[in-house]
Structure 1
Amino acid sequence: MTTDREPPVILWFRRDLRLADNPALQAAHATGRPIVPVYILDEGSAVRPIGGASRWWLDKSLKALAASIMERGGSLVLRRGDSEAELRRLIDQTGATCVMMNRLFEPDGWARDTDIAHALKADGVEVKGFNGTLLTRPGSVLNGSGGPYKVYTPFMKALRAQLEPPAHTTGPCDLSGAPEVDSDDIDAWGLHPTRPDWSGGFLGEPGEAGATRALSAFLQSGLKSYDDDRNRPDREGTSRLSPHLHFGEISPWRAWTAAYDAAGSDGSSAGQADKFTNELIWRDFSAHLFHHFPTLPTDAFRPEYDRMPWINDAAQIEAWTKGQTGYPIVDAGMRELWTTGFMHNRVRMIVASFLIKHLLIDWRKGEAWFWDCLMDADLAQNAQNWQWVAGSGADASPYFRIFNPITQGQKFDPDGVYVTRWVPELKRLSPAFVHSPWTAPPEILRAAGVTLGRTYPKPLVDHAEARQRALAALKTINSQGEAWPED
């Protein structure tokens, strides 16, 4: 293609679906050339396709991004197919001589993008990559030996010691001037579920504006009591920023600086900001581990745990996915997940521990279910967190730490508010029995309208027996005589 205009820059959006604090966009704008923004739905590459709930979020987030770009005079190009092929087609159509993007750091995405960059550069197209998704690039926080950290706390301290928050940017006001090219109809992509549409209860407001509102709401009402309330599923104590961060609708640095700005000089609030930003660092820690250890989603980080004698009972897996285990806090979490595309963080640990240790189900099966059902499904965090619970990961909770779903419910949902919201068949049971209905006297169950095995399932397993079975399984791969307390 020939043109008298200066060749445009292609801005390749991926998981950076925002205009503010977007380093690739800022670099593209600094060239003074027209910008051709594009999103490519590449489902045939080595990168794992996103799950159903994430597809729902992506659909709305892309529509919000397209509207924001249109307000500034531009147009978001949508393409479906092989990333390199679509980029080349767009280069041919526009005459672009430069592609800018915020890098993906998962090993498969990194390798694919590197191959594309080398191929395009060989044909005279400049390719530049930036970090628009993490606090720090993987490889930039290393231990004293020059290798990756495998323990969170020293990683956290090292990251904090080298902090350099970037300046806040709002993005270009004018995105007009790019050549017009063909674009897909996003509704034809079928990202929104149909037949059936099970997304009716999904929570959140996808898009950059929704991310900004979620952050503001958290800072106004949740930050001051974050350390206590974040473990309480019966309260609105978490930030709900995870899907916004995953899709890059807000920069993690924006969340970081806003938390400390909101805390101000109040010492206690500053401590809460530390707790909140530690969660952002854990997100980075997961990404850094995955970047350095590419088999994190498929292989136990500690290889001996791949010898675990899993049972993988299909009927019990199905009962777990449907929230029919007979343990109310577990069932509430699984039903919340299916209904809303979200699950409270404390409950995620409880349901994961139950699947792995009470039922002896391979953690990879749980990871796959979460991948499909979570709107905030992030491969690095999903794999890292499941391996953390399984005891097989880096800096993991030891396998012998087995959550008691009864006492966990009593501690973090003492009045049964969370359980009865998602397991309404138990709503007439008192808090004394709502986390263990099988312990209620028959007359109490009758008065509450609960018939175990009919209106609500009996427990799939006995907690004490399941715990002993899990510890026996651990002994087959670990003969060390360790003290095994109950949690």
Structure 2
Amino acid sequence: MSSPQIVWLRRDLRMADQPALYAAAQAGPVIPVYVFDQDRAGDHAYGGASKVWLHHSLESLGKSYGARNSRIVLRRGDAPQVLAALADETGATCIHAMRHYEPWWKEAEDELRDALGEDTKLCLYDGNYLLPPGSVTTGSGDPYKIYTPFSKAMLERLPPRDPLPEPGTIHSPDGWPESDELADWDLLPTKPDWAGGIRDFWDFGEDAAHDRLEWWTDVVAEYDEGRNLPSEDITSRLSPHLHWGEISPAQVWHKLKDKRSDGWKTYAKEVIWRDYTQNVIDQFPDYPTQSYRDYDERTLWRNPNAGHLIAQDLECWQKGMTGYPIVDAGMRQLWQTGWMHNRVRMICASFLVKHLLIDWRFGEQWYWDCLVDADYGNNGVNWQWISGTGVDSNMFVRIMAPLTQSEKFDAAAYIREYVPELADLDDACIHDPPDDRRGDYPVKMIGHKEARERALEAYRSSKD
């Protein structure tokens, strides 16, 4: 039998349209390996919600491999060192892996090449995005910085390649290396177990992703208008499945590409946005931590580390106790389910950076810890867009009005679900309850007009 082939798994936890697995299965016996390398990413190590999803996704994928008389080898430690040692131990001649564009994974890939012996090579494959990041360029060959021309250029080159099938045969090695037990990684919270809402809200794994896509195929036509209505939640909820690679964007695109609705056209742009954010971090690896535009950060932002009153404001936002029902509903949905409706994500993010004038990076880190779809590119690019600091961003002076947004997009039922203190209020009152109808629900931290004027003055000062 030919030499073993290692498949290095990261955010590509699927069997079908997994180019690294497909190539490895054709070359010899397959040893799938997941290395839990939590230290490498620094401040962007997996947050609490991501760990919950990772546990359940690995558990689901392990069952899929088990049904093929295979298994996933689990190891913990420095990924390049662990993989190089495993290649020596097993005699593997190739480590197959999907390309990842987070700076710590690009660094790990370089380190792994250096650590491998002469008889082992690293083979990298694209497939986690519609087109390889960096491959869509301007006429002069430069990468795009702005989304709109990038999107137009993408559409000219789409559809993506056809999805690959699941390998027909996955041969096992003569002997299996030792493996950790998933439960020993302590990815799931226990004392207390705060993840019950996440488990109730989601189904995990590749089969669940395709079930969700089947449902979405019949609903996507409603997306153009429905995407803005949190009470209806006409959204795909495919984002965590795409992030963890339980389904590929090529599979999603080919399933929907023959649709002719405005809903599909709008949704297609958001799938392309996912590619765009990876192109941004490929150009600017520190983008989720460093503002792109020049301004006086000390003048614009209130730093929670500089005073307890500002820290209290941040905590009220995190806990969904701002006194703005639509904001608090979103922040509580985030905590309970690990996800937030996209329209509400923008409202909540805008509130933090413009109503409270708190540095966008504190919001980026909170979303990173709480979102099951926390993605280095998406999260960082979206926060810099809403804060007006990004390469392609909303203007800072465009300040979202939460109360107007709540009423305009009919968020009453959404508020009742996540802010039960207000559940008895009628639609006319619930978006902005008067103080004598709030009961135990807090009053507004700051009025909208006052917050807007303060934000505009701070912005002017930061540009002087």
**Same fold by TM-score greater than 0.5:** yes
Matches within 5 A, 1:54-73: 54-73=50-69
Q: 159, 170, 177: which is aligned to 2:172?
A: 177
Matches within 5 A, 1:71-90: 71-90=67-86
Matches within 5 A, 1:110-259: 110-120=106-116, 123-178=118-173, 179-202=175-198, 203-220=201-218, 222-259=219-256
1:98 equivalenced with 2:94 (yes/no): yes
- Alpha-carbon displacement from aligned partner over 1:99-149 (angstroms, at most 9, x marks no partner): 1000111122112212212332x5331111011211121210112232221
Q: 416, 434, 455: which is aligned to 1:470?
A: 455
Partner of 1:358: 355
User: Matched residues in 1 for 2:430 and 2:166: separation?
Assistant: 51
Partner of 2:277: 286
Shift of 1:307: 5.1
Alignment-mate amino acid for residue 375 of structure 1: V
Shift of 1:311: 1.6
1:297 equivalenced with 2:288 (yes/no): yes
User: Matched residues in 2 for 1:142 and 1:308: separation?
Assistant: 37
1:21 equivalenced with 2:17 (yes/no): yes
Partner of 1:39: 34
User: Matched residues in 1 for 2:339 and 2:159: separation?
Assistant: 32
Alignment-mate amino acid for residue 447 of structure 2: D
Shift of 1:304: 2.1
Secondary structure of the residue aligned to 2:322 is coil
Contact 1:46 1:108 in 2 (8 A): yes
Secondary structure of the residue aligned to 1:128 is strand
Query: Percent identical across equivalent pairs?
Result: 46
Q: 359, 367, 374: which is aligned to 2:364?
A: 367
Alignment-mate amino acid for residue 281 of structure 2: F
User: Matched residues in 1 for 2:291 and 2:233: separation?
Assistant: 34
- Alpha-carbon displacement from aligned partner over 1:450-469 (angstroms, at most 9, x marks no partner): 32xxx010100011011000
Contact 2:81 2:112 in 1 (8 A): no
Shift of 1:413: 2.1
User: Matched residues in 1 for 2:289 and 2:3: separation?
Assistant: 43
Contact 2:62 2:71 in 1 (8 A): yes
- Alpha-carbon displacement from aligned partner over 1:393-435 (angstroms, at most 9, x marks no partner): 1220100111101000001125x10011111111111111111
1:429 equivalenced with 2:414 (yes/no): no
Shift of 1:166: 1.8
User: Matched residues in 1 for 2:10 and 2:296: separation?
Assistant: 34
Alignment-mate amino acid for residue 300 of structure 2: P
Shift of 1:272: 2.1
Partner of 1:309: 300
Alignment-mate amino acid for residue 78 of structure 2: D
User: Matched residues in 2 for 1:169 and 1:287: separation?
Assistant: 22
1:53 equivalenced with 2:38 (yes/no): no
Contact 2:325 2:419 in 1 (8 A): yes
Shift of 1:164: 4.8
1:324 equivalenced with 2:321 (yes/no): yes
User: Matched residues in 1 for 2:19 and 2:56: separation?
Assistant: 23
User: Matched residues in 2 for 1:85 and 1:469: separation?
Assistant: 52
Secondary structure of the residue aligned to 1:129 is strand
Contact 2:25 2:171 in 1 (8 A): no
User: Matched residues in 2 for 1:135 and 1:88: separation?
Assistant: 30
User: Matched residues in 2 for 1:329 and 1:24: separation?
Assistant: 43
User: Matched residues in 2 for 1:314 and 1:307: separation?
Assistant: 16
Partner of 2:266: 275
1:6 equivalenced with 2:10 (yes/no): no
Alignment root-mean-square deviation, CA: 1.4
Shift of 1:14: 0.6
CA pair 88-425 structure 1, distance change in 2 beyond 3 A: same
Alignment-mate amino acid for residue 211 of structure 1: A
Alignment-mate amino acid for residue 55 of structure 1: K
User: Matched residues in 1 for 2:107 and 2:296: separation?
Assistant: 28
Partner of 2:306: none
Shift of 1:85: 1.8
User: Matched residues in 1 for 2:104 and 2:296: separation?
Assistant: 24
- Alpha-carbon displacement from aligned partner over 1:355-376 (angstroms, at most 9, x marks no partner): 0000000000000000000000
Secondary structure of the residue aligned to 2:33 is strand
**Structure 1 alignment gaps of length 5 or more:** 480-487
Shift of 1:205: 1.1
Alignment-mate amino acid for residue 43 of structure 1: Q
Contact 1:18 1:248 in 2 (8 A): yes
Partner of 1:483: none
Shift of 1:308: 4.4
CA pair 474-279 structure 1, distance change in 2 beyond 3 A: same
Secondary structure of the residue aligned to 1:154 is helix
User: Matched residues in 2 for 1:86 and 1:119: separation?
Assistant: 10
Secondary structure of the residue aligned to 2:300 is coil
Contact 1:78 1:184 in 2 (8 A): yes
Secondary structure of the residue aligned to 1:40 is strand
Contact 1:300 1:306 in 2 (8 A): no
Secondary structure of the residue aligned to 1:78 is strand
**Structure 2 alignment gaps of length 5 or more:** 304-309
Number of residue pairs matched by the alignment: 454
